[in-house]
């Protein structure tokens, strides 16, 4: 993922998750919803935002890599 100097608030991450819901596997989506209820750190919010960003435009291979990173982050 590209590095970004912007901090993404919880609301932005929730909105990004919602906008990508139809493209995400259900277990990834529900895992993210649960994770966001745990008050993640700003670093974790930023990382999740960038994993979700343009998920729908990513290749299948890239989506699989992102899924693995999301699982690791949200476990």
Q: Would you say the C-alpha torsion 31, 37, 42, 45 has a positive or negative sign? A: positive
- The mean pLDDT of the chain is 94
Which backbone phi and psi does 12 adopt, to 5 degrees? -65, -40
pLDDT digits (tens, 9 = 90+) for 11-38: 999 999 999 999 999 999 999 999 999 9
Q: What's the pTM? A: 0.91
Domain assignment present for 3: no
Compute how many other C-beta atoms are within 10 angstroms of the C-beta atom of residue 3: 6
Which domain range does residue 18 map to?
A: 10-74
pLDDT digits (tens, 9 = 90+) for 44-53: 999 999 999 9
Which pLDDT belongs to residue 1?
44
Which pLDDT belongs to residue 36?
98
Domain count across the chain: 1
Domain assignment present for 27: yes
């Amino acid at each position: 993922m590209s590095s970004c100097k912007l901090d993404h608030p919880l609301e932005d991450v929730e909105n990004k998750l919602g906008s990508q819901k139809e493209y995400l596997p259900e277990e990834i989506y529900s895992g993210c919803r649960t994770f966001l209820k745990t008050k993640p750190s700003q670093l974790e919010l930023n990382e999740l935002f960038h994993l979700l960003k343009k998920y729908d435009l990513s290749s299948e291979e890239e989506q699989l890599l992102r899924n693995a990173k999301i699982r690791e982050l949200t476990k």
